[in-house]
Structure 1
Amino acid sequence: MLKITEEQVAEYRENGYIIVDKIIERHEVDLLLSRFDKIFYGEYETGLDPDEVNWKHGRDDEKLTRQICNGWKADRYVASVILQAFIGEACARLGGWPGTRITQDNLLWKPPGGRPIGFHQDSSYEEFIVPNDWVSCWIALDDTTATGGTVEYVTGSHLWHKSGKIKQFHGPSDPHEDLRIAVERMKKGDFDTEKVEVQAGGGTFHSGWIWHGSDVNKTDVPRRTIVAHCMSSESMFNPNPLSVNRTYSRYKKFGRLDMEETDFPILWTQDGYASPFIEPYSARQLGWAE
Structure 2
Amino acid sequence: MIDQLSADQVAQFQRNGFLILERLIDPDDAARLADRFEGLFRGEFETGLYPDEWNWQEGRDSPDRTRQICNGWKSDYTVASVVLRREIGRLCAQLAGWPGARIAQDNVIWKPPGAKSLGYHQDNAYNAWIVPGEMLSCWIALDETSARGGTVEYVKGSHLWGPSAPAKQFHAPADYREEMIARARAMGHEPDIHYVEVPRGGGAFHHGWTWHGSGPNRAGRPRRSVVSHCMSSGATYHPTKVSYIYNRYKRMDDTTMDESYFPILWREDGYRTAWLDAYMRRAAASTKE
- Could you tell me how far apart the structure 2 residues matched to 1:9 and 1:187 are? 26
- Could you tell me how far apart the structure 2 residues matched to 1:284 and 1:108 are? 22
Q: How many residues align?
A: 283
- Is 1:194 the counterpart of 2:223 in the alignment? no
- Could you tell me how far apart the structure 2 residues matched to 1:193 and 1:201 are? 22
Residue number in structure 2 paired with 1:166: 167
- Could you tell me how far apart the structure 1 residues matched to 2:34 and 2:188 are? 42
- Is 1:148 the counterpart of 2:146 in the alignment? no
- Could you tell me how far apart the structure 1 residues matched to 2:38 and 2:162 are? 39
- Could you tell me how far apart the structure 1 residues matched to 2:222 and 2:282 are? 29
- Is 1:35 the counterpart of 2:40 in the alignment? no
- Could you tell me how far apart the structure 1 residues matched to 2:265 and 2:152 are? 25
Greater mean alpha carbon deviation, residues 210-219 or residues 3-12? 3-12
Give the superposition deviation at 1:181. Answer: 2.2
CA RMSD of aligned residues (A): 1.3
Aligned-residue identity in percent:
50
- Could you tell me how far apart the structure 2 residues matched to 1:134 and 1:93 are? 13
**What do the CA deviations read for 1:105-164 (whole angstroms, capped 9, x no partner)?**
100000101100000001101211011111100000000011110010110000112001
Give the superposition deviation at 1:27. Answer: 2.1
TM-score w.r.t. the length of structure 2 is 0.96
Give the superposition deviation at 1:65. Answer: 0.7
Residue number in structure 2 paired with 1:245: 243
Give the superposition deviation at 1:198. Answer: 0.1
- Is 1:118 the counterpart of 2:116 in the alignment? no
8 Å contact from structure 1 (residues 161, 186) kept in 2 = no
Correspondence for 1:280 among 268, 278, 281 = 278
Map 1:223-234; keep pairs closer than 5 Å: 223-234=223-234
Residue number in structure 1 paired with 2:256: 258
Residue number in structure 2 paired with 1:288: none
Give the superposition deviation at 1:239. Answer: 1.0
- Unpaired runs of 5+ residues, structure 1, are 286-290
- Could you tell me how far apart the structure 2 residues matched to 1:112 and 1:151 are? 15
Give the superposition deviation at 1:192. Answer: 2.8
Residue number in structure 2 paired with 1:81: 82
Structure 2 residue matching 1:283: 3-state secondary structure: helix
Letter in 2 for 1:228: S
TM-score w.r.t. the length of structure 1 is 0.95
